[in-house]
A and B are shown apart, each in its own frame.
Chain A
Amino acid sequence: MTLTKRVIPCIDVDLDDDGNPAVYTGVNFEDLEYTGDPVEMAKRYNEAGADEFVFLDITASADGRETMLDTVSAVADEVFIPLTVGGGIRTKADVKETLRAGADKVSINSGAIANPDLIDEGARAFGNQCIVISVDARRRFDENGEHYVDVDGESCWFECTVKGGREGTGLDVVEWAREAESRGAGELFVNSIDADGTKDGYDIPLTKAVCDNVTTPVIASSGCGSPDDMYDVFTDAGADAALAASIFHFDEYSVEECKRRLDERGIPMRR
């Protein structure tokens, strides 16, 4: 089988003080730093060999949404690789307008937790392949979970959170992933609140727990500090794709360099 593993840069897009879309990147959990123009960054990553591109709208405002969709279109017109767009998608109409703007897939997070039928409706209307369910997982060591794994000798489950990890939902990530898959999700996008911003590597137990329990492709996210972290999440957890932001945005590693290192270590890569 020669299906390659995918390396995916992700940009968080907000409006700057003048109301123009701009990429912001979190630095050590604190301030967001201005990182660049979304279209220019998409072009750069495309040229560097990115396998897909993820665009997250973090404006969370109705005014911002129009501008964001125009930016999605501008990116889609320049970048001839698959484009996933997420952020604030809550209704079938949101899905439709995002796809119309030029997205190939939409990433839905809390909108699907609030209304799981959105997954079924979206998959039926637009196809499973374009419905990506995104979770913000947090490690929990209490008795309230359904699916436990061993993490450093302790029994741990993973909870779906909303509002950037500030609010728990009580929902077990593995159970939710199974449900999302059975409802028609075409891909699962797994973020870790614990690993986010650490650059200590992906949350392997979390990613592996999801990969072991679904057949849908899994995109691992949060915590990437180097191509070796990508290697680990591909081989130890079974992820299909590895997403990263700051290592690319701050030029610590280029997409090209990551793919070359992974290729050298025997991971099938698109050239």
Chain B
Amino acid sequence: MSSHREAPAISKDPVADNTDTYAFVSPDDPDTVTIIANYLPLEAPFGGPNFFEFGDDVRYEVHIDNDTDGKAEITYEFVFTTEVRNPNTFLYNTGPIDSISSPNWNRRQFYSVTRVEGSKRTVLGSHLACPPCNIGPASTPSYEALAAQAVHQIGAGHTVFAGQRLEGFYVDLGAVFDLGDLRPFQNLHIASMAAAPGVNATNDFSVHSIALKVPKIELTPNGMTPTDPMSKRAVIGVWAAASRRRSLIRGTGNGNTFEAGDWVQVSRLGNPLFNEVIVPLGDKDRWNALPAAEDAQFLKYVEHPELAGLLPVLYPGVFPNLAGLTAARADLVAVLLTGIPAGIVPGFQNFTGKRYADQLRLNMAIPPASDPKPLGLIGGDAAGFPNGRRVFDDVVTVELRAIAGATYPLVNKSYTPDAAASLITDGLGPNSTRYLPNFPYLGTPVSGYDTKPLAA
């Protein structure tokens, strides 16, 4: 998936598993940028009685690099605390939850937001309430209104939400992991089956999202709103992460745990699918533990992605030009590790220098699109991926096509991509799920009651 269960260690630690990161100029508030970091992959909405929540023992982080050194100049930290009203019941709620302060809600979660710049730490908000999970019509009636109560205005013009959301990332996992037999093209696959529409494997699943809307002036190094897309000050690098304390001691016979020590990064994510598809199994856990600024050591995997070698094998005769492409993939390096320099796409750049780092690179001077294209930049829409990432961007198709060679002519005009490179897809689009037009943009989660896991 984008980065759901993408590495052996983090697949066993879902509350710290950073599944997706988004960064885009807010379409309804273009003087701001919205950054969303998702965790807890594949939440089945009916998963009670202990419904999903953030980890009190995890520090969630959003990092921003605004001077092209690959390191964070600004970090937002999110730390959660769970409060139980009544420990003498097994119930998550003892009646309808009609507000986030409802006494019927038994297990509530609160959090603080701290902005870190160098040694300066500023608490922007504390004891901010999360919404409950969407249980069902008897427990969480009017869920949208309930969740809206958990949108908080905090310090320095920031807006924040942390809680359950409908999964916005759509992908045909069943096909991708079945030796890449993408259903719309599986008649051409080595296993040769009849072509079929894609199936969204994340349908109705939820995630836990941290959404933060930040004034642009809080993100630029000079405190100005960027207006020139060709200025390097217009570009920020964004990635998210999760850290845990170094040590955990389990109490004997009391169910208690004690944690201490410095924070150790256990998960991170900038570009979708980076650790999932680019980094090989033996390096995935290490990649999650390293800062983005040390990604030069993974350059070889970007320059020679394994999937580019597999496509011609899995689809015999379909990718002959890709099969012959043995040069280092400078196009993928630009998209994933450095940003796209000026002069490649007219009127656009999101270059952050030669320091290799997996970051979403957002040119904040590009205004939101009036007619957004899910294929983003390769679809002619410079406001979309890989200029940051919007919630609805079809990143699976974009990255499949890029790896298949569709973007290589940007750095080598003598290369002719295979015809299939601009057609390949897993057969899904933004209508595979639902979104909101306003903050926090990801859709309302489906309730446990309304989820039908065996439905066709």
Partners in one complex: no
Question: B-side interface residues toward A, CB under 8 Å?
Answer: none
A residues bordering B, Cβ < 8 Å? none
